[in-house]
Every structure is written in C-alpha cells, then in structure tokens.
Amino acid sequence: MGVRVREKVEGSGVWWVFVSQNRVRQSKCVGDKKAANAVASELRKRISEGTFRLAPRGRTFETVAKEWLERVAELRGIRPATLENYRCCAMQHLIPYFGPKSAGEITTGMIEAFISTKLKPGGSTRNDVKALSRAYLRLLLVTLRMILQKAVKSGEIDSHPMAKLDRMPGATSENVDPFTTDELRAILGAAREISPIAGAMFRLWAQTGMRAGELSGLQGGDFDWERGTATVQRTYSRHRIGPPKRGGARTVSMLHPIADPVADWRPGATPESRAIITELRRLPVSPIEPQAFVFGRNGQPLESAELHRLWRRVIVKARVRYRSPEQFRHTFASTMLSRNAPLLYVQKQGGWRSATVMLSVYSRWLPGPEVALHPVAPSAHPAAISTSAVESRNTS
C-alpha cells in the first residue's frame, strides 16, 4: 500500500491524494498542497495502525443495495413494516433498474430517467398499463437516497448523485375525499344494521380518526370508560403487531361528534357521540378480556381483507358513493378543523408528526379569517370529561 500527493495537472495548484492497496488505486481531489499533505499524513498514520482499509470500488448497485438491506434495520432502528417497504422498493423497482450498474456509474441523469420511466404507463409493477403513483415514487427515492449514501460513506461514490436532483412535489390532498355528514350518518346506520360490531367499529373510527392498523390493534384494556378515551399503543399491519406509526402511545377521545350535524367539535357534545361507549361495552370482549382484540376473531386482530369485505357491504347498503374506509381519518381531520378545533389538539388526537404535516393536507378546511379562533377551556379537554359529567351537563 502507498500514499502519494501530487498535482494531476502540473502548475494547476490543485492537489490530489493517491492511495493504492491490493492492486486497487483510488484518488481524491483535496485542494492546495498543504491540505493534501495533511490528508496523506493522516492516511499513513491509520495505515501504520492497521485501521485503514481501502473501500472496494466497482461493486454493483445490487450488491450495495442488498448489503444495505441487511443492516438498515439495526442501524436505523426501524419498524418491521418500514423495513418491508424498503425491501419492496429495492427488490421490485431499484435493483431491476440499476442492479447491474456499478454504484459509481449512477448519475443524476440516470435517476431522472428512472423517475420519468416510473411516471409513465408500465411504471407500476402491479399493473403494466399504469404509472407508479407519486406517493410511492417518493418512497422509492427515499430508499434510493439511503442506498447511495451508503456507497458514498464507503468511498464507492465521490459525491451523491441525488444532491442536484430537483425536489419532488410535496404531499397533496388528491386522495382526500371526506364523507359529508349525511353520508357518514347513512354509513353508520347501515353498519349498525349489519352487525353491532360493525356499527361500533365504524363509529369509533369516525370519532377518533385512528389509522386502520391502530383500530385493528385495539384491545379491551385500552379503554377508559369513565373518561371516554382509548389508548393507542399498538398497530396491526402485514400480520404483525408493532408500535404506532410515530412510536409512542397516545390517548384519544372517543366522543367527538363527527357524524352529528352540529358546529361543536368538543368530545361528548351530543348524545349520539356518547353512545359509542354503550356500543363498545356491549361487545363480547370489552371488560372481560383486556388483552383480547376488540374487533378481531379467534384471538387475532382484524385482517385488512376482512375489514374491506365488511366495508363494501356497508357502503352498498348505505347507498353512498364508494371511497375507501381510510376516508374516516380524512373526515375526522377535515371536520374538526372546519369546526375550529385547535390545531395542536387535532394533531395530537390523530397522531400526525406535526401540525405543519397535518396542514399540508387539510389546510383548506380551516375556517376563514372572519372566524375567530377561541382557545380551548381546560374543562373542554377530553381528559377532563367523564361520561357521568357529560350526562349531568346535558340533563341540567
């Protein structure tokens, strides 16, 4: 192994450091002679100590990507579902496109061509006549960025080829299509006719704005009947139980009057919103089996396929234009904001990362400037509202 310092072009004033090891030679532009000598001195010291190893160059993108997949979970502490998303991105899209190329060959232009290909018909691997959605493309680019960053750190790429890439458009509300109050009331009525479990499940979903996996992961012991709250502390996705999307547990009120034609957003504001407690307590597993999944079967959480089969029955019976049941979450957010609920309160109830993230999708439902924003009185917080207190307030 050897370390040398010289100008590639004599008289240019730009100095390079050259390192050779095991017939592999690499070079890096450092700057002036003084800086190049300092780098070379440090390299010679590490070589003498045995702590320096020349990173291999020329490995294929496929090799780098698979090595990254093996280590990313332990290095980044990600959830199994997130790792599966990364794996799908790499194995179904990135490796088939970039796989045989050397990691060092990949340029900004190649990545732009990849984006263009994915946004054209045939870009989706599930349907050869459809383009890939922009939402999934953003996930692909996040995965690609991290794989290439590994190649940069190992010295296989001198600079990150995505550094000069134009930013992808941010998240849009193109898939946000909330239910109207009339539609929501028709859906909940139809669900109640089909079964008490369906009625309770869809009302709870509407009044809390949970994610689908969080709803499936609810257990009997998660409810506080006196306060009318539920603790969201797990999610069920791809046949696995894990923590909620943002990691920590959160406590949400079950009593928001989302399906009621009122202007009030506060928990327990209507008798119909408070009825969810009675509906849930009548379910077979509620107080008796605290570790049983509330909406599951045979001790297992509710599967996504089963949920969507039930949803199709409900939506047909309700005679409402079809949208996915995930619109319950959009309906919760848009209704709460339109009724002037405090931003931070809505964000914490729904588990969005920040109010900014939430508003990037739902800002159009905020009241106009002519509507005054009133602070929430301490007694209006769901943690301070017990069911008995709400009932006495409404009967006085």
**Model pLDDT for residues 215-254, shown as the tens digit of each residue:** 999 998 999 999 999 999 999 987 888 888 876 899 999 9
**3-state class (DSSP) for residue 241:** strand
Among positive and negative, which fits the CA dihedral 381, 365, 350, 170?
negative
CA-atom Rg of the chain in angstroms: 28
How far is CA 80 from its chain centroid? Answer: 13
Q: pLDDT-derived band of residue 177, with 50, 70 and 90 as boundaries? A: very high
At residue 75, what are phi and psi to the nearest 5 degrees? -75, -35
- Residue 98 CA to residue 113 CA, distance in Å, equals 11
Q: Is the model's pLDDT at 318 over the cut of 90? A: yes
80: closest CA among 231, 260, 239?
Answer: 239
Tokens matching residue 366: 């905020």
Tell me the per-residue pLDDT of 39-68, one tens digit each, with 9 for 90 and over: 889 888 888 887 877 665 678 899 999 999
- Residue 134 CA to residue 267 CA, distance in Å, equals 36
What does the H/E/C string look like for 177-230? CCCCHHHHHHHHHHHHHHCHHHHHHHHHHHHHCCCHHHHHCCEHHHEECCCCEE
User: What percentage of the chain reaches a pLDDT higher than 90?
Assistant: 50
Global pTM reads 0.65
- Residue 214 CA to residue 235 CA, distance in Å, equals 4
- Residue 305 CA to residue 20 CA, distance in Å, equals 57
Tell me the per-residue pLDDT of 286-317, one tens digit each, with 9 for 90 and over: 445 667 899 988 778 989 899 999 999 999 99
248: closest CA among 232, 237, 268?
Answer: 232
Q: Reading across the β-sheet that carries 15-21, which strands appear in turn?
A: 2-7, 15-21, 24-31
Q: Characterise 58 by phi-psi region: left (phi > 0), alpha (psi -120 to 50), beta (else).
A: left
In DSSP terms, 28 is beta-bridged to 17
Mean pLDDT of the chain: 85
